[in-house]
Chain A
Amino acid sequence: MTKPRKTPLYDLHVERGGKMVDFAGWMMPVNYALGVAGEHKQCREKAALFDVSHMGQVALRGDNLAAKLETLCPSSFGKMPVGKSRYTFFTNPQGGIMDDLIVSATKVGFFLVVNASMREQDVAHLKILDIEVFEMDRSLIAIQGPAAEAIVSAIVPAAADLKFMETAVMDLMGSECRVSRLGYTGEDGYEISLPNERAIEITRKFLEHPDLELAGLGARDSLRLEAGLCLYGNDIDNDTSPVEANLTWAMQKARREGGGFPGAKRIQRELAEGPSRKLVGIRPDGRAPARRGVEVADQGGNVIGAITSGGFGPTYGGPVSMGYVSAKHSAEGTSVNLLIRGKSMPATIIKLPFVQQNYKR
């Protein structure tokens, strides 16, 4: 095992009482003094700041970038104007998901943000294409929550003009920073790509705002789960298809119909015939959280699926889970049983998300 890496904000996390753990090869805060539930509610009610510098920031340059990237991803990039961002994924030849990512169109090419654990794999994968691929050594912070616009625009006024899934390079305290109006909490907010040498100084400046608190990986996970957003490695992976995972919306019509991406055969078949299993929200009827790996059974006791992410939703106020169940048991309102520690606990299939997404469209 190699020693975990530190982000440029590491010293600030320690100073602010962050409980540091090794996550995907990076020393990251699980939570600070406020605690997971407190940080979660802070984000839903005011705003929270997350260090997401462990994620990969990748720049693409070259000719016909959109067409080339479309050979790896089932989304459309050709008509995406400069300043727009799009959620997509790399598919494998079997129609599974290799990673999910955000692609933004910039004046000079594309800017990608990929999962921390997939950085090396994704960069190697992109290098199949006849384009320039380089990882940008920059910091990334996410400021998320209903107060995010007020907090960010107090320092970068132009940030208020962005809508959900829009991005621009802006002057932030004298440095060029990429400000994108997106995130992974279900709340309005921003991700800001910063030069490493100014990361602590700029983060401290944001944190002077009384409505903003640091939040760690724990809250990031419970927030995205309540918002029904997939975590790569849990809810989506090399075996799950985008159709099974309810990510059809991220595959634009021209691509769904035209194909030309890895795994198109399976994905188009599932689009036509329906997938055999589906990712659904699963709400335990009782108080016991149902975590990853818990089996889901039908009323007759037959196993029909498993939980892929689960825990407690602080804003929802109860246990929340998601997982795959066979398509015929996936209808909203279906009663199922969860096999938790040898006991059968009743639960209900619900339509995701558990907590309404609150984006600025």
Chain B
Amino acid sequence: MTTYYSEEHEWLDVDGDTATLGITKHAAEALGEVVFVELKEAGDTFDKDDEIGVVESVKAASELYAPLAGEITEANTTLEDNPGAVNDDPEGNAWFYKIKIADSAELEALMDDTAYKAFIA
């Protein structure tokens, strides 16, 4: 399993052609208290940069953009009832989607842990 990061502050735990996707701790902290999460459904397909959800904090609404193309195999609907989990455990229990990656070559455009740390520094 390898973890990748996008410039939109998402993390992707990749295992073969499947991945778990969420937003980073840095993003969750910047958003402030998350009060609402809107998710796409399992079976929905998306291209890179498509909007695949909305995260609203007490401050503002932020769209979630796909870091690469793929298909949603599972959405973490527990976030709809407990949006605050995004603040409590953004890089763990508060994952957004399990996805199937359409083209693994698109991973090359993403950052590794070291690069992401430098990106947010």
A35 to B32, CA, bound (A): 7
State whether the Cβ of B74 lies closer than 8 Å to any Cβ in chain A.
Answer: no
Q: Tell whether, in the assembled complex, residue A312 and residue B36 are in contact, meaning their CB atoms are under 8 Å apart.
A: yes
Q: Tell whether, in the assembled complex, residue B36 and residue A218 are in contact, meaning their CB atoms are under 8 Å apart.
A: no
Which residues between 39 and 96 of chain B lie within 8 Å of chain A, taking CB atoms? 54, 56-61, 80, 83
Interface size in chain A (residues, C-beta < 8 A): 18
Q: Tell whether, in the assembled complex, residue A218 and residue B58 are in contact, meaning their CB atoms are under 8 Å apart.
A: yes
State whether the Cβ of A30 lies closer than 8 Å to any Cβ in chain B.
Answer: yes
Within 8 Å CB of A31, what residues of B?
32
Interface-forming stretch among A82-90, A159-167, A285-293, A330-338?
Answer: A285-293
Give chain A's interface secondary structure class: mixed
A289 to B38, CA, bound (A): 11
Q: Tell whether, in the assembled complex, residue B36 and residue A311 are in contact, meaning their CB atoms are under 8 Å apart.
A: no
**Residues 25-43 of chain A: 1 if any B CB is under 8 Å from the residue's CB, otherwise 0?**
0000011000111101000
State whether the Cβ of B35 lies closer than 8 Å to any Cβ in chain A.
Answer: yes
Within 8 Å CB of A281, what residues of B?
none
Which 5 A-B pairs rank lowest in CB-CB distance, beginning with the nearest? A312-B35, A36-B58, A37-B33, A312-B58, A287-B36
Q: Tell whether, in the assembled complex, residue B32 and residue A218 are in contact, meaning their CB atoms are under 8 Å apart.
A: yes
Q: Tell whether, in the assembled complex, residue B59 and residue A30 are in contact, meaning their CB atoms are under 8 Å apart.
A: yes
Which residues between 217 and 235 of chain A lie within 8 Å of chain B, taking CB atoms? 218, 222
A229 to B55, CA, bound (A): 26
**Residues 304-341 of chain A: 1 if any B CB is under 8 Å from the residue's CB, otherwise 0?**
00000001101000010000000000000000000001
A31 to B33, CA, bound (A): 12
Kindly provide the distance from the CB of B74 to the nearest chain A CB, expressed in whole angstroms.
21
Which residues between 264 and 291 of chain A lie within 8 Å of chain B, taking CB atoms? 287-289, 291
Within 8 Å CB of A291, what residues of B?
60-61
